[in-house]
Amino acid sequence: MFDRDTASKALGIELLDAGNGQATVRMTVTADMVNGHAMTHGGYLFMLADTAFACACNSHGPVTVAAGADISFLRPTGPGDVLIAYGKERVTQGRSGIYDVTVTCDGDIVAEFRGRSRVIGSEGVTGSEGVIGSEGVTGSEGVTGSEGVIGSEGVTGSEGPA
């Protein structure tokens, strides 16, 4: 999955390790990533943590997307800082899961992220259309909302993630 993640790669995010429900990624903060207060913009911290989350929850094989997530920013970082995000599976039940990601800088915790996952497909996905290919997802258990970016046909369904 990370091999096809052009958004993360465009930010210089590197996958250090992934497997067995956990993942570690790294990113160096650039001058283009700071906000008007000269601190790393929270969106970049979120994306780094989200990438670790995505790699952890997809490490089992089935196509898994975010059903939701939140982050707590604990201390600022800035240009030149190297951030490490470590994601770990906390629990899975059926098609749903909860993952925690800790973002650190020089060993200090700078953010804590919790992601909620939803399995939407089987493993072995290929294609440039998105996560599950050109066929999209249909049916009453489909994925709705921006967290299920799937392909050109989109995603339909009446329930969304539960």
CATH number of the domain that 108 lies in?
3.10.129.10
Q: Which residue has the higher pLDDT, 108 or 154?
A: 108
Query: Looking at the domain assignment, is residue 74 inside a domain?
Result: yes
Q: What is the pLDDT of residue 122?
A: 79
- Distance separating the N- and C-terminal Cα atoms of the chain: 23
Query: Looking at the domain assignment, is residue 32 inside a domain?
Result: yes
Query: Looking at the domain assignment, is residue 137 inside a domain?
Result: no
Residue 120 to residue 10: CA distance in whole angstroms: 26
User: Average model confidence (pLDDT) for the chain?
Assistant: 83
* 12-62 tens-digit pLDDT: 999 999 999 999 999 999 999 999 999 999 999 999 999 999 999 999 989
Total of domains in the chain: 1
Query: Looking at the domain assignment, is residue 92 inside a domain?
Result: yes
Query: Looking at the domain assignment, is residue 142 inside a domain?
Result: no
User: pTM, whole model, 2 decimals?
Assistant: 0.76
Q: Which domain holds residue 60?
A: 2-119
Query: Looking at the domain assignment, is residue 76 inside a domain?
Result: yes
Helices and strands of the chain, counted as H and E runs: 2, 6
* 111-135 tens-digit pLDDT: 999 999 999 987 654 433 333 333 3
Q: What is the pLDDT of residue 123?
A: 61
Mean pLDDT of 57-81: 96
Query: Looking at the domain assignment, is residue 144 inside a domain?
Result: no
Query: Looking at the domain assignment, is residue 158 inside a domain?
Result: no
